[in-house]
Amino acid sequence: MKLARKLFSLLMVVGILLSFTVTSFATERSFTINNVTVTASSGECVGNCSAYAGKILSKIWNYKGETTTFLSKYNMLRGLSDTERAITIDHVRTFIQNAPLGSRIRICKSPSNTENNYDNSRYGHTMVLVDKNDAAGTFTTLEAGFGAAAARDYTYESFTSKWTNYTKKGMSSPGYKYFFYIADLTSFGSGNTSVTTGNPAITLNISNYPATLGQGDSYPLRGTITSNYNITSVRGSILNSSGQEVMGYTQNPNTKNFDIRRSAVDMNLKFGALSAGSYTLKFTAENSAGTSKNWSQSFTVEGKTDQVLEHTHQGGSFQFYEDVHPHLNYYKCAICGENYTDGSTAYAASCETCNPSQPEPTPPHDTHVKSAFQFQEAVHPHRNYYKCSVCGENFTDGTTSYLDSCQICNPVTEEKWTGWSNWSAAPAYASDTRQVETRTVKTSDTYTQYRYGRYVANGHDCWCSLYLEGLGYGRASLDVTDWSTTQYGTSGRDWSCGYCRGSHAGYDHFSSDGRPWWKEYKSPSGQSYYWEESRTVPAVYETQYRYRDQIN
């Protein structure tokens, strides 16, 4: 086994020297990412696209051989279906524009990731995104795997055409049809950029909207809304100057492209129904990934007035006289039609001023005679008033009433409470005499665990059970470490199994000739392992309670 390792290491050195010789004569373009400058000749292993990409990325991000899988936290396409990962012009445009420079891109022939979360198809290609121009629709990758390394320029159309029609020996049909992953590795950089996890932004392009309208005028809206995920909701609304919605409509297109023109949203925003004033037009879109985005624009509706020449009201028919004294007469102006008064007055027989009545003499009396109750005073002590049956005046006999709303009759008792208890995980429940507050507290943070695997037989270890058994070490068994937060380093050596056709596990990639390859990991105690698995343990939260009781 040691002899096999030495021969393999020698072949790797020869391959690296040959690959460097081929690429060093190419015209070099340099690309600076994360303050690191790379060229096509910065990578080794030009006969293997995946190994070459790993070398380039290790220079850019100080990349430590993190295994990239479909469900990896670095995969921007994690959670997308086969159809959503298909290589089309629109998908290439969306994925490349959302991917940061220094991303690792893997395309493949097979439509789905395999059960162990790796792209186990030998028919695939890996590259590194090093430059792009979103406005021009172009981008550049560093890639190898065809005996040489190069910086290749693409448009969205040329990338789609090249790889969906690509063929090589052994392929049953042409074409790499799917993106397997686009790994955002910026979290390894000095900028401490957070990892993107598959929520591309929604784009709202509202191209035609009003600035000023006349009252009663309609307006045709124009624009598009796009997203890599299905757009589940589009709401158009009009807000008044106080921010209150005066009209709105929600549409659920469930597509990745939505045209506002002649949509139900457009038809239901009736600008002609708005009165004069200042308004805000607002669109809110949300996709199936939960991403939402707003767009708003202010506009004004101007009132329409009919101009009438300045004049003095004159002529016209009599309309009415005022109910109150002195009962001014009103006429309709013969020029503008408005009602006006010329200052003349009318006599109203029912008016006490025009036609005062003669009061009947009040019979003489020394004391009011109580009849019907009238009211109680609003202020304390709330004396009662009655109507005198002789003269009709209201009077009080000195009696008082109780008024529930009066703070003297019904003084308010101040509530008194104990101090708040300490926070506790034990539930507490509110009542008429107990107040309860709650809070959510994190008890442990999110962390990553790792475990490592190999085959063992009588004190020997290897990446392949058949290899051990073929060397006469006895029957091999799978040996997997427990999960822990310790991540093993790599020895810098890679191992291949040739064509033993064994049932393999944990290999990082295939070489161009179809052989599986493993990295060698070293435990703190010096043990060798050949594949790494990781999982994320989520943070833990608990609800805490505190309370206080009423004491009066």
**pLDDT, tens digit, 9 for 90 and up, residues 177-231:** 899 889 888 877 653 333 333 345 688 888 888 999 999 888 889 989 988 788 9
CA–CA distances in Å: residue 58 to residues 9, 34, 66, 102, 142: 20, 12, 10, 10, 14
Say whether pLDDT at 413 is over 60. Answer: yes
Please give the full DSSP string across 242-288, using - where no structure is assigned. TS-EEEEEEE---EEEEE-TTSHHHHH--GGGPPSEEEEEEEEEEET
Q: What rounded mean pLDDT belongs to the chain?
A: 83
Write down the pLDDT at residue 527.
Answer: 93
Q: How far apart (Å, rounded) are the C-alpha atoms in residues 91 and 314? A: 76
The verdict on 40 and 12 lying in the same domain is: yes
Least confident interval from 98-107, 348-357, 376-385, 420-429: 348-357
Q: Which domain does 252 fall in, by range?
A: 203-302
Residue 275 domain flag: yes
Write down the pLDDT at residue 39.
Answer: 94
Say whether pLDDT at 8 is over 50. Answer: no
Quick one: average pLDDT of 132-148? Answer: 88
Residue 473 domain flag: yes
Residue 198 domain flag: no
CA–CA distances in Å: residue 482 to residues 455, 456, 458, 479: 15, 16, 21, 10
Q: How far apart (Å, rounded) are the C-alpha atoms in residues 168 and 434? A: 76
| Tokens of residue 533, six digits | 């698995």
From the list 422, 452, 448, 409, the residue with the least C-alpha distance to 535 is: 448
Residue 195 domain flag: no
Quick one: average pLDDT of 135-159? Answer: 90
Write down the pLDDT at residue 17.
Answer: 43
Higher-scoring residue by pLDDT: 160, 267 = 160
Scan for tokens 């992953």, then name that residue. 181
The verdict on 179 and 286 lying in the same domain is: no
Domain count, the chain: 5
Q: How far apart (Å, rounded) are the C-alpha atoms in residues 72 and 137? A: 28
Quick one: average pLDDT of 44-58? Answer: 87
Write down the pLDDT at residue 112.
Answer: 66
Write down the pLDDT at residue 136.
Answer: 87
How confident is residue 293, by pLDDT bands cut at 50, 70 and 90? confident
Coil, strand or helix at 517? strand
Residue 157 domain flag: yes
Return the DSSP state at 85.
G
The verdict on 181 and 224 lying in the same domain is: no
Say whether pLDDT at 46 is over 90. Answer: no
Residue 296 domain flag: yes
pLDDT digits (tens, 9 = 90+) for 480-490: 999 999 999 98
| Strand partners for 435 | 548
The verdict on 384 and 265 lying in the same domain is: no
Write down the pLDDT at residue 433.
Answer: 92
Residue 194 domain flag: no
Write down the pLDDT at residue 189.
Answer: 67
Coil, strand or helix at 172? coil
The verdict on 391 and 336 lying in the same domain is: no
Q: How far apart (Å, rounded) are the C-alpha atoms in residues 127 and 31? A: 14
Write down the pLDDT at residue 190.
Answer: 55
Write down the pLDDT at residue 114.
Answer: 54
Write down the pLDDT at residue 197.
Answer: 34
Write down the pLDDT at residue 389.
Answer: 87
Confirm if 124 and 137 have CB atoms less than 8 A apart. Answer: no
How confident is residue 302, by pLDDT bands cut at 50, 70 and 90? very high
Quick one: average pLDDT of 275-302? Answer: 91
Q: How far apart (Å, rounded) are the C-alpha atoms in residues 430 and 467? A: 68
The verdict on 285 and 221 lying in the same domain is: yes
The verdict on 372 and 495 lying in the same domain is: no
Write down the pLDDT at residue 349.
Answer: 81
Residue 176 domain flag: yes
Say whether pLDDT at 520 is over 60. Answer: yes
Q: How far apart (Å, rounded) are the C-alpha atoms in residues 78 and 106? A: 13
List, in order, residues 6 or more apart from 29 with CB less than 8 Å away. 39, 40, 140, 151
Quick one: average pLDDT of 299-306? Answer: 80
The verdict on 223 and 125 lying in the same domain is: no
Higher-scoring residue by pLDDT: 542, 76 = 542
The verdict on 425 and 321 lying in the same domain is: no
The verdict on 407 and 420 lying in the same domain is: no
Quick one: average pLDDT of 256-264? Answer: 87
CATH number at residue 292: 2.60.40.2550
The verdict on 183 and 104 lying in the same domain is: yes
The verdict on 240 and 260 lying in the same domain is: yes
171-195 in b/e form (b: 16+ CB < 10 A) is: eeeebbbbbbbbbbbbebbeeeeeb
Say whether pLDDT at 26 is over 90. Answer: no
Q: At what angle do helices 89-98 and 156-164 cross, to 10 degrees?
A: 120
Return the DSSP state at 134.
T
